[in-house]
Structure 1
Amino acid sequence: MTTDTTTPVTSRTTKTHTFGPGAPTRRRGNKAPRRRGAGSYAVLAAVTVFVLAFLAPFAIILLNSFKTSADYRAHGSLSWPERWNWDIIGDVWQRVDFTQKLVNSIQISLGVVLIAVVLALFNAYAIGIGRIRWRTAFLVFFLGVNVLPQEGLVYPIYYLFKEMGLYDGKLGYTILVGITYSAFGTYLLSSVFSSFPRELIEAASLDGAGRWTILWRIILPMSWPTLSVMCVFFFVWSWNEFLYPLVLLISNDNQTVPLGLSVMQGQYTSDPTALSAAALLGVIPMVVFFLVFQRTLTRGVTAGAVK
């Protein structure tokens, strides 16, 4: 009996390589790192020097904020503290009544942000979207308000506040600074709204949307990155204001943080360690503010870079 045995034939698959536009994309592994040139190292060194020069004053303030007066007089401002004086922060806090100054600054800054952003939004909506008459003249006016120095306006504002009964009041000061900052916000938003897609507004109008609906449902959501940057800038600017509150807020209960810290410097007496501690107390709120809103600020600044 004959038995047929069938031997399986193994087919060998030959790999073919396809070249051209339709070729599959292959991953490139172990890519050789690019070598940095002399220009890259020069830029890196320049940036490092700039960052160190920027941080040097803050480091000096931090060192001197925890020194004793005797330690400062004996070793100078650049030496390491021999003994960390943690009580000086509490002493400065109580001496300037920092709690009240901090509350005043927060209230005023938030009020300024609200007034300035709302006024700038309405003004820019009328100028940039509504295309009102004399649009260029209004933009020149708002630009002129930004150019005028505070020193030229402080005395007329002082007498005006005296006549209106707003002198030494946080409400009047907040309204003043908010209206002043709204001029810059109007000029900025008007340039943004002038390049706004008109097709969206016309389509919304055809669907029956009114002016208020277009503002709140279309313009405001798409402009929020720019508005968030304006909020951050207005808050920081109003926090650091010194001349206007120096003239218009004279009572201790209404003064802001910069004014409260300025009382540490006398005409004939000066305590460098107390001044450093006061400066540290004034810087900490702004550092915390930037750490909280840094992502909002970054998104707002880079929003217009990528469509």
Structure 2
Amino acid sequence: MTISTFYPIGTPGVAWGPAEVAMWLSRQTRQRSYETDVLRAVDGLRTRFDIVEYGQLDYAPDRYPLVAIKSRQWRDTLPCVLVTGGVHGYETSGVHGALQFVEKYASAYEGKIDLIVVPCVSPWAYERIHRWNPQAIDPNRSFRENSPAPESAALMRLVEPFRHRVLLHIDLHETTDTDESEFRPALAARDGIVFDPGTIPDGFYAVGDTANPQPAFQQAVIAAVAKVTHIAPADEKGEIIGSPVVAPGVINYPLRKLGLCAGMTEARYTTTTEVYPDSPRATPEQCNAAQVAAVCAAIDFALAPG
């Protein structure tokens, strides 16, 4: 089956060049507002938290301030918790789940942790409901030295001063039907390879680190989320998105090797959440609540004695 069957840009078997990227970019349109949905919500938190502008994306004619929400009582003696959302801008509950966690629950951890929440790592992609940035680069494969993605590079610069102190990093994502209908076909076309169709898991799952899996931690996250929404079952091969299921709702990836956001620190506890918003069994409110439940459970486990 050829790439052209699935994606209208490029020549099957040939990776994109500047012309194809420009054609792809010309088809992207703004569908929602980062300023309205994210920046205004962050502004509403200024009375309780410090708001840090850690960079700016200049994608002419648009400019996007990059913001983080930080504990007001920051103390270097406390364990540090990093929460990230919107690395893939189209994954809506990652952004709004992060904001909802701060609004409703973050204050409960005051004095126990240094908390830093970056609710929308990729605002250009958030507005266009896309996975990539304007250069057709996936920020969540770009957390590495000399990153080609400005979104990833800016976040790494923000975290670098306290990277060695991060106890927990939870990165909030979604797996959507458009992964199969748009994003994976586009990726195959961009890279000049054949698109091999897969299946979308129906439900929530978590991605641990192959090098540091922390199975009890992952299961604590799954158990908390199961009270809010359903957990994705393994497929007939015992896999989720092509990876072996190591426990109910859990797979592992080599986070650092792949340049994934959750591998950017030396945290003892890391996980990437994956909510399924297109399920007939889940609402947008449930998806946001699942992300919040995952964050709270992850922090509670990381802080538990023993």
TM class by shorter chain equals: under 0.3
Q: Which has the higher strand share?
A: 2
Query: TM-score scaled to structure 2, two decimals?
Result: 0.23
The structure with the larger Rg is 1
Query: TM-score scaled to structure 1, two decimals?
Result: 0.23
Q: Which has the higher helix share?
A: 1
